[in-house]
């Protein structure tokens, strides 16, 4: 900059008599100015970009509480959490047993059933197929549950078992278990 400055003004104007005695000092001012300009631009860019992140009211809805005591054995409910369906199934003893007996060696995404539940009778998973995001069938009475008595994704044919683990089809991983905890015997808080 300092060099171009003295070059471009050379012979063009009387400003030449103000040519710097010590170009290093002028270089410092130029670099410092650019640096301050960059800091200013970044300080303006951050709010402009960050406003696209979830707003406070969106984040306030990021956790919900569900009363699971009304779900009778064998019944499933679907609730909406962060804009996505969450499957809560009150599993029967047979379903729990079936999920426990599975040989982990034969699974694509090996996880024990115990590791996927807080209490064995309630399975809580995101109702989003891990393949490409469709909602699997199997929640309502009469819907196809797939070959492993869990869920079946109609989009590309993924079969999930009664622990929500992928058993057959293109999906790479098990149905995701959202973070949740029992705040009392009857209520779980998701998120």
Partner 1 sequence: MSAKQFSNPVVRWIDHRLPVFSFLDHELHEYPTPKNLNYFWNFGSLAGITLVIMIVTGIVLAMSYTPHVDHAFDSVERIMRDVNHGWLLRYIHMNGASFFFIVVYIHIFRGLYYGSYKAPRELLWMLGVVILLLMMATAFMGYVLPWGQMSFWGATVITNLFSAIPLVGDSIVTLLWGGFSVDNPTLNRFFALHYLMPFLIAGVVILHIIALHRFGSNNPIGIDASGPQDTVPFHPYYTIKDFFGLSVFLSLFAAAVFFFPNFMGHPDNYIPADPMQTPAHIVPEWYFLPFYAILRAVPDKLGGVLAMFGAIAVLFVLPWLDRSPVRSARFRPAFKIFFWLFAIDCVVLGYLGGQPAEGIYVVLSRVATVWYFLHFLVFLPLLSVFETPRPLPQSISSPVLGGGAALAGAAANAAKEKV
Terminal CA-CA length for the chain: 54
How many residues form the binding site for partner 1 (CB under 8 A)?
A: 24
Site residues for partner 1, window 7-36 (CB under 8 A)? 8-17, 33
The conformation of residue 40, written as its DSSP 8-state character, comes to H
Q: Are 78 and 129 in contact (CB under 8 A)?
A: no
Burial class (CB in 10 A: 0-12, 13-18, 19+), 44: exposed
Confirm or reject binding of residue 50 to partner 1 (CB under 8 A): yes
Contacts for 75 with CB less than 8 Å, ≥ 6 apart? 89, 90
Q: Is residue 118 classed as helix, strand or coil in its secondary structure?
A: coil
Scanning 1-9, 70-78, 108-116, 177-185 for contacts with partner 1 by CB under 8 A, the matching segment is 1-9
User: Which one of 22, 24, 42, 53 is in contact with partner 1 (CB under 8 A)?
Assistant: 53
- Of the listed 90, 131, 156, 159, which one is catalytic? 156
Query: Which residue lies nearer to partner 1 by CB, 51 or 72?
Result: 51
Burial class (CB in 10 A: 0-12, 13-18, 19+), 107: middle
Kindly tell me which of 10 and 118 has the beta carbon lying closer to partner 1.
Answer: 10
**Residue 45: which H helix or E strand, with range?**
helix 23-50
> Of 48, 72, 106, 115, which one interacts with partner 1 (CB under 8 A)?
48
Out of 24, 42, 52, 142, the only residue in the binding site for partner 1 (CB under 8 A) is: 52
Shortest distance (Å) from residue 133 CB to partner 1: 23
Assess whether 90 carries a catalytic annotation. no
Give the active site residues: 156
Q: Which residues bind partner 1 (CB under 8 A)?
A: 1, 5, 8-17, 33, 46-48, 50-53, 55-58
């Amino acid at each position: 900059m300092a060099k171009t400055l003295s070059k471009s003004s050379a012979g063009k104007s009387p400003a030449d008599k103000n040519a710097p005695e010590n170009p290093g000092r002028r270089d410092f001012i130029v670099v410092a100015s650019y640096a301050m300009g960059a800091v200013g631009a970044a300080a303006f860019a951050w709010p402009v970009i960050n406003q696209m992140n979830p707003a406070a009211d969106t984040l306030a809805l990021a956790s919900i509480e569900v009363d699971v005591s009304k779900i009778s054995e064998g019944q499933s409910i679907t609730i909406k959490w962060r804009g996505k369906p969450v499957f809560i199934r009150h599993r029967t003893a047979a379903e729990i047993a079936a999920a426990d007996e599975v040989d982990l060696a034969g699974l694509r995404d090996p996880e024990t059933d115990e590791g996927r539940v807080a209490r064995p009778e309630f399975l809580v998973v995101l109702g989003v197929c891990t393949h490409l995001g469709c909602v699997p069938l199997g929640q309502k009475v009469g819907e196809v549950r797939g070959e492993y008595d869990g869920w079946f994704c109609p989009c590309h044919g993924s079969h999930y078992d009664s622990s929500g683990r992928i058993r057959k089809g293109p999906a790479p991983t098990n149905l995701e278990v959202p973070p949740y905890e029992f705040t009392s015997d009857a209520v779980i808080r998701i998120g």
